[in-house]
Amino acid sequence: MAIFRITDSSIEKVEETTFAREKLLERKDLQRRLKANISVLSPDLMVMDEEFGDWEDSSRRIDLLCLDRDAHLVVVELKRTDDGGHMELQAVRYAAMVSVMTFDQLVGAHAHYLGGEDSLERAKTAILNFLERESQVEARLSDQVRIILVSADFSIELTMTVLWLNKSGLDITCVRLKPYKLEGQVLMDIQQLIPLPEAEEYETKIRAQQQENRLAETSRDAMLRRFWRQLIERSRPKTALFSNRTGSKDQWIGVTLGRTGFRLNIVLSREESRVECYIDLGKNSNERNLAAFKTLEQQKQAIESAFGERLDWQELKDSRACRICKFLKGGWDGPEVEWGKLQDELIDAAIRLDKALKAPIQSLTIPRE
């Protein structure tokens, strides 16, 4: 990137310089000027404190701790180097530390920054006015912390790390401060490199969607664990089939049915569930799986009679496996108050399927590979 000056007769390149050459220091010069006009980094920021480090057992300090209008704390880290060093890792650590900060602690930090008499009251009023909130109750801080990295330039390693972290749900902005020298004056080109300004709104929406999906997935995992724990406990007085299971975040749990390659599974989907005998004898076992399935299917009448009702016999032509199953209404998306009824039905079907298939499976003659 270069800056050019238009003269009467030509276009002249403006001389690049460095902060070191101009004897501009990080804290004394750059940080001091940025805190006085923080809007050059982002228009929605208010400086809360400088050199913030109010935590135990740590001598490290945040260059500038800010707040945005959506009540996100913003960690601003500054370097005057041409590669940014390892500032992204340092800033992530700081973001983790302040993520648990309370409103009262923020008021205390800003009071320290303001100084003077009645600093606590002035700090609280300033923060509420900035957030356009009437009271502290309405001004709850977000647990999502933004990071702004400011440097004369950034290494490829740093920018790749930031892009990956942003893809993983963090909110990190890289702003480049590039100094130039013109007729004895130092000029500065300030550009946001990551995310690109024209893509920032899109990336913000993507991060929000990813966060929503992660929360939904975490919630579903916890729900499935509860469902399986309850089912296992309800099964104990009735059968020992699942006595060695402790639960799962998966949509299924299973045990061996008679011999290796035959699984008795209980499977949940959103709106329905099933109990199945899943036949999979391992790698390259397509023909052996189908042969075992067909042999059992020849005993269909006796097996269904022992089970007590009809079963679905599925060759699963798009898979190497086959299965024999019973579908039931109700799945993991059903009301939790109705889980007990569904769990009892699944346990009963599993007991009956085990009883109907164990002997026929044990008596199968399965050809070797």
- Segment 152-176, tens digit of pLDDT: 889 999 989 998 898 888 899 999 9
Does 367 fall in a domain?
A: no
pLDDT average, residue stretch 79-101: 88
* Average pLDDT rounded to a whole number, residues 263-268: 94
Over 70: is that where the pLDDT of 205 sits?
no
Domain holding 354, by residue range, is 222-362
pLDDT band at 213 (very low <50, low <70, confident <90, very high): low
Residues 227 and 349 in one domain: yes
Residues 167 and 45 in one domain: yes
Judgement on whether residues 47 and 89 belong to the same structural domain of the protein? yes
The confidence score (pLDDT) of residue 362 equals 92
Same domain, yes or no: 227 and 354 = yes
Residue 112 within any structural domain of the chain: no
User: What CA–CA distance (Å, rounded) separates 226 from 220?
Assistant: 10
Query: How does residue 206 score in pLDDT terms, banded at 50, 70 and 90?
Result: low
In a domain, 110, yes or no: no
In-domain check, residue 122? no
pLDDT given for residue 277 in this prediction: 96
125 is a domain residue: no
- Regarding whether 178 and 250 lie in a shared domain, the answer is no
Please give the Cα distance from 49 to 64 (Å, whole number).
6
- Whether 181 and 281 map to the same domain: the answer is no
Please state the rounded mean pLDDT for residues 190-209.
Answer: 67
Helix (H) or strand (E) holding 343: helix 339-362
- Closest by CA to 267, choosing from 307, 317, 315, 323, is 323
Same domain, 148 and 258: no
242 and 315 in a common domain: yes
Looking at residue 168, its pLDDT comes to 82
Number of separate domains in the chain: 2
The confidence score (pLDDT) of residue 214 equals 55
| Residues ≥6 apart with Cβ < 8 Å to 323 | 276, 277, 278, 279, 314, 316
291 and 160 within one domain: no
pLDDT band at 267, cuts 50/70/90?
Answer: very high
**pLDDT of res. 17:** 86
Q: Are residues 173 and 295 in the same domain?
A: no
Distance CA 361, CA 337 (A): 37
User: What percentage of the chain exceeds 90 in pLDDT?
Assistant: 45
Work out the mean pLDDT of the chain and round it to a whole number. 87
CATH classification at residue 86: 3.40.1350.10
Q: Is residue 116 part of a domain?
A: no
**Cα–Cα distance measured from residue 23 to residue 302, given in angstroms and rounded to the nearest whole number:** 91
Same domain, 60 and 158: yes
